[in-house]
Amino acid sequence: MKKIVALSLGILFAGVSLPASAGNWVMLNPAPVVNTPNTYVNSSNFFASYTPPANAVITYLSWDLSPYGNGNTSATYEICMLPGTSRCFDVSKNLQSRTTHFGGYKASSSFIVRVKLNGGTYPAQPTYTGNHMIYVEWE
């Protein structure tokens, strides 16, 4: 009976690419000082401190971003997958949350946080923790 079950499972999963074991990475970077209104300022890169398995893909990306206490009238926050800024996700309304927006991309992907402030006084210093955090879950 054990051989039949093993053979059945082998046939069932033949040709199916099973996901890598699940894991995660997290990185904390200082939030940048914003010196000029209405101009994007990029954070330092967020990346895995180790190399996830080659076939590992992102399932969720979570973030915890610091607001700015300069009295700004509006603020735009985007999380962008590198290279470039063509794959960005606007998180302005939720500075702490989680998304599947980057799901399916390589778990070894790097990110930045872009911030643009309008109104208020400058230079604008981050408040709260003074840091931005990115947490990537993968499988």
Q: How confident is the model at residue 6 (pLDDT cuts 50, 70, 90)?
A: very low
The architecture CATH gives domain 19-138:
Sandwich (2.60)
Q: How confident is the model at residue 101 (pLDDT cuts 50, 70, 90)?
A: very high
* Contact of 104 with 61, CB cutoff 8 Å: no
Q: Specify the amino acid at residue 103.
A: G
What integer pLDDT is reported at residue 64 of this predicted model? 98
What integer pLDDT is reported at residue 134 of this predicted model? 98
Residue 60's SS3 state is strand
Least confident of 2-6, 16-20, 41-45: 2-6
What integer pLDDT is reported at residue 32 of this predicted model? 96
Instruction: Kindly report the average pLDDT of the chain as a whole number.
Output: 88
Q: Which of 10 and 18 is assigned the larger pLDDT?
A: 18
* Contact of 134 with 98, CB cutoff 8 Å: no
- What is the average per-residue pLDDT within 114-121? 97
Residue written as token pair 């500075």: 95
DSSP letter string, 72-105: -SEEEEEEEESSSSSEEEE-TT-SEEEESTTTTS
Q: How many CB atoms lie within 10 A of CB 24?
A: 16
Percent of the chain at pLDDT exceeding 90: 81
